[in-house]
Amino acid sequence: MRGGLSRAVSCWKDAGFFFLFFSKRRLVPCSSFLEAIDLEDSESPSTVSYAISLFDRLDIYIGEMRSRFIHISDRGKRVEGKVPALVDLCVQTAIDNVRYIGDVGETDTHLLERILPHCTVEQLMHVENMTEGRDLSPVTNKLWRKFYEAKFGVANVNLVVERMNRHNITYSWRQLYQAKLKVQDQVQKESVERLTQLYKKEDARKQSRQIKICTKVPPATKKRGFCGGFGAENKFSNAKSNLMKKAKVDYLNSRELQNRVAIKRSASQKSTSVGSSMKPLGMNSASTLKFRR
């Protein structure tokens, strides 16, 4: 046998799949290998010559892969001169329209593994929410871990892993992502509120120092000031009132006033007999005063 055997290549045709394990543990779908080496279905795998030819072509294939750097990726699936497979065309279309994907239904896992890595966080969340009756975590768990790492850092990832190992509990990375996001939002909200409070406080403090216009008029203190105080005023008013009292008594007892009163009396007697209305005393006194002088 050729040296290819030492590369630990094993091939199962009857299972319907071909897996070729190279020495570097690289898994290659046999369909692409068969296309590359033009393996005829009629060849029986049991003959030695077949095995030799197989490994010969395997050598060539590996060589080609190394020299051409054939990447088994979705974009570069077109091998030169070969017709693109419908599956590959569909995968490419799906990737181009990944934002419109909702319920993925019964799509095969290996196809989802080619498409879903092209989703953003929101798109992946949408796909998982819309796909009912099917758990996509075998495919999406590693994607969520990458999102977690990108958003919260490698340190956090390691911390979470360590905690899960310590407590022997496993959560899906999607749950962890959502929980962490919630916590982060909460912390952010609290800090924003605290900041708002501080700003309000500062504003209030500044407002309190401002000059405010108020409608309340302070009581007039001019007279009080001049008089010198409440006690002094009392003293003076007492003296004034005594003098005033004396003046009043003198006036009332004066001859002038007595004459006036007599005239008024006679006038009122006349008016009651005639029936005219009495004039008010104030007016009367003013006019009569004029008259008397």
Partner 1 sequence: MVCVLPGLGREKGKEGEERVVASAGKMRKEDTLKLISAEGFEFVVDRKAAMVSQTIRNMLTSPGSFSETEHGEVTFPEISTTILEKICQYFYWSLQYASGKETEFHIEPELTLELMMAANYLHT
- Asked whether position 106 contacts partner 1 by CB under 8 A, the answer is yes
- Asked whether position 89 contacts partner 1 by CB under 8 A, the answer is yes
- Asked whether position 91 contacts partner 1 by CB under 8 A, the answer is yes
Per-residue mark of binding to partner 1, 10-39 (x: CB under 8 A): ---------------------x--------
Which residue of 36, 58, 94, 124 would you call a contact of partner 1, by CB under 8 A? 94
- Asked whether position 101 contacts partner 1 by CB under 8 A, the answer is yes
Distances (CA, A) of 194 to 92, 172, 198: 49, 33, 6
Which residue of 8, 90, 154, 192 would you call a contact of partner 1, by CB under 8 A? 90
Strand 19-21 with 27-29, pairing: antiparallel
- Asked whether position 195 contacts partner 1 by CB under 8 A, the answer is no
Nearest approach, Cβ of 12 to partner 1 (angstroms)?
Answer: 17
Which residues does residue 28 pair with via DSSP β-bridges, in sequence order?
20
First to last CA, the chain: 163
Distances (CA, A) of 66 to 74, 91, 153: 19, 26, 35
- Asked whether position 97 contacts partner 1 by CB under 8 A, the answer is yes
3-state secondary structure (DSSP) of residue 212: coil
Closest CB to partner 1 among 62 and 94? 94
Nearest approach, Cβ of 64 to partner 1 (angstroms)?
Answer: 21
| C-alpha to C-alpha distance for 280 and 263, rounded to whole angstroms | 15
Closest CB to partner 1 among 83 and 213? 83
3-state secondary structure (DSSP) of residue 154: helix
The answer to whether 123 and 103 are in contact (CB under 8 A) is no
Which residues does residue 21 pair with via DSSP β-bridges, in sequence order?
27
DSSP symbol at 205: H
DSSP symbol at 118: G
Nearest approach, Cβ of 109 to partner 1 (angstroms)?
Answer: 11
Nearest approach, Cβ of 102 to partner 1 (angstroms)?
Answer: 10
- Asked whether position 191 contacts partner 1 by CB under 8 A, the answer is no
Nearest approach, Cβ of 119 to partner 1 (angstroms)?
Answer: 14
The answer to whether 133 and 103 are in contact (CB under 8 A) is no
- Asked whether position 85 contacts partner 1 by CB under 8 A, the answer is yes
Distances (CA, A) of 79 to 31, 36, 73: 12, 9, 11
How many residues comprise the chain?
Answer: 293
Instruction: Give 180-232 as a 3 state SS string.
Output: HHHHHHHHHHHHHHHHHHHHHHHHHHHHHCCCCCCCCCCCCCHHHHHHCCHHH
Nearest approach, Cβ of 54 to partner 1 (angstroms)?
Answer: 19
Residue 141: both structure tokens together: 């768990």
- Asked whether position 87 contacts partner 1 by CB under 8 A, the answer is yes
- Asked whether position 41 contacts partner 1 by CB under 8 A, the answer is yes
Nearest approach, Cβ of 136 to partner 1 (angstroms)?
Answer: 14
Torsion of CA 124, 125, 127, 130, to 10 degrees: 180
Nearest approach, Cβ of 30 to partner 1 (angstroms)?
Answer: 12
- Asked whether position 123 contacts partner 1 by CB under 8 A, the answer is no
Closest CB to partner 1 among 97 and 170? 97
Q: For binding to partner 1 (CB under 8 A), which residues are involved? A: 31, 41, 83-87, 89-91, 93-94, 97, 100-101, 104-108, 111
